[in-house]
């Protein structure tokens, strides 16, 4: 049932194509609707619609008492439907989003083995890898263990030829190291992540995390603060409060 909306859309797309090239090609095109040609485009918006439908379906399942990790979890069929989109056009934007979303559905459903099967079937240069590292980080947080996350990302970082994927994988390894309190290892991974893909969002994120490790780790002197409070008289500095703990609240009115 999950494949149907896409098949319908595909038919419409092919009929539109027939109209432009002439009726003579009609038979070939109609035959292709049953089995889309490799590389046949599925629109990103269609993938997003599938994901929206999947989320609703899974929410219904959860509110009616369905358990995570169960063999009848709707994430399984939605994963299969999304994976078909990926199989049709693995290196397109829609295919990459479909694969990443498919894996995220399984991880949120705590179907770890199925998720790992999909992850391990991805080519190291599949653009879905831009997002898979974050999904594996979520898995580690949920399971309170990061062995699989780190081992898998290390393997991908070593074998991919795509700088942004290497950077994304190393970035998450750095996050895991930091979370586990190994700051020297975290700094090394993050520096590698930054060097792998300069100028990318991953590099910027790595840069920020390195800054936090170097300047904002527990035990380090807090960065200086000085100014005149809006609601008090006279200037303050952190030193003026020495001897008392301080709670800093960064906030916004909206």
Partner 1 sequence: MEEVPLLKALHAKYSDRAVFLGISVDISVDRADRAVTSKGMTWLQLADGKGFDGAIPQAYHVQGTPELFVLDRAGRIFAKPASAKAIEARLQEALARPPQ
Residues near partner 1 (CB under 8 A): 208, 211-212, 215-225, 227-232, 236, 238-239, 241-254
Q: In the complex, what is the shortest distance from the CB of residue 87 to partner 1, in angstroms, rounded to a whole number?
A: 37
Closest to 40 measured CA to CA, from 1, 6, 82, 81: 6
Q: In the complex, what is the shortest distance from the CB of residue 61 to partner 1, in angstroms, rounded to a whole number?
A: 29
Using the minimum distance from each CB to partner 1, give the nearer residue, 38 or 245. Answer: 245
Closest to 41 measured CA to CA, from 78, 13, 2, 79: 13
Say which residue the tokens 């970082």 belong to. 157
Cβ contact 10:40 at 8 Å: yes
Q: In the complex, what is the shortest distance from the CB of residue 248 to partner 1, in angstroms, rounded to a whole number?
A: 4
Using the minimum distance from each CB to partner 1, give the nearer residue, 166 or 178. Answer: 178
Write out the two tokens for 144.
């309170």
Q: How far is CA 186 from the centre of its chain?
A: 20
Using the minimum distance from each CB to partner 1, give the nearer residue, 184 or 223. Answer: 223
DSSP for 86-151 reads HHHSTTSHHHHHHHHHHHHHHHHTT-HHHHHHHHHHS-TT-GGGGTHHHHHHHHHHHHT--HHHHH
Using the minimum distance from each CB to partner 1, give the nearer residue, 1 or 246. Answer: 246
Q: Nearest-5° angle of CA 74, CA 80, CA 83?
A: 135
Using the minimum distance from each CB to partner 1, give the nearer residue, 151 or 236. Answer: 236
- Coil, strand or helix at 132: helix
Q: In the complex, what is the shortest distance from the CB of residue 242 to partner 1, in angstroms, rounded to a whole number?
A: 6
Q: In the complex, what is the shortest distance from the CB of residue 113 to partner 1, in angstroms, rounded to a whole number?
A: 30
Cβ contact 174:186 at 8 Å: yes
Q: In the complex, what is the shortest distance from the CB of residue 144 to partner 1, in angstroms, rounded to a whole number?
A: 16
For residue 110, give Cα distances in angstroms to 76, 115, 131, 160. 11, 9, 18, 27
Using the minimum distance from each CB to partner 1, give the nearer residue, 161 or 242. Answer: 242
Using the minimum distance from each CB to partner 1, give the nearer residue, 15 or 241. Answer: 241
What region, left, alpha or beta, does residue 227 occupy, with left being phi > 0 and alpha being psi -120 to 50 degrees?
left
């Amino acid at each position: 049932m999950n494949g149907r909306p896409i098949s319908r859309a595909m038919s419409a797309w092919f009929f539109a194509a027939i109209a432009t090239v002439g009726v003579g090609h009609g038979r070939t095109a109609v035959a292709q609707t049953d089995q889309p040609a490799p590389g046949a485009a599925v629109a990103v918006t269609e993938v997003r619609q599938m994901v929206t439908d999947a989320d609703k379906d899974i929410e219904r399942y959860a509110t009616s008492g369905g358990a995570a990790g169960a063999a009848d979890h709707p994430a399984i069929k939605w994963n299969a439907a999304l994976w078909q989109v990926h199989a049709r056009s693995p290196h397109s934007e829609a295919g990459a989003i479909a694969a990443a979303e498919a894996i995220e559905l399984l991880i949120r459903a705590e179907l770890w083995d199925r998720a790992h099967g999909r992850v391990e079937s991805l080519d190291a240069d599949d653009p879905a890898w831009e997002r898979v590292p974050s999904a594996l980080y979520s898995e580690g947080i949920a399971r309170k263990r990061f062995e699989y996350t780190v081992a898998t990302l290390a393997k991908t970082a070593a074998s991919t030829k795509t700088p942004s994927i290497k950077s994304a994988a190393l970035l998450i390894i750095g996050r895991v190291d930091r979370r586990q309190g190994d700051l020297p290892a975290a700094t090394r991974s993050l520096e590698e992540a930054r060097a792998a893909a300069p100028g990318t969002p991953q590099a910027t994120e790595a840069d920020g995390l390195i800054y936090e490790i170097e300047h904002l780790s527990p035990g380090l002197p807090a960065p200086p603060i000085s100014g005149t409070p809006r609601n008090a008289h006279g200037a303050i500095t952190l030193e003026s409060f020495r001897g008392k703990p301080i709670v800093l609240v960064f906030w916004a009115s909206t």
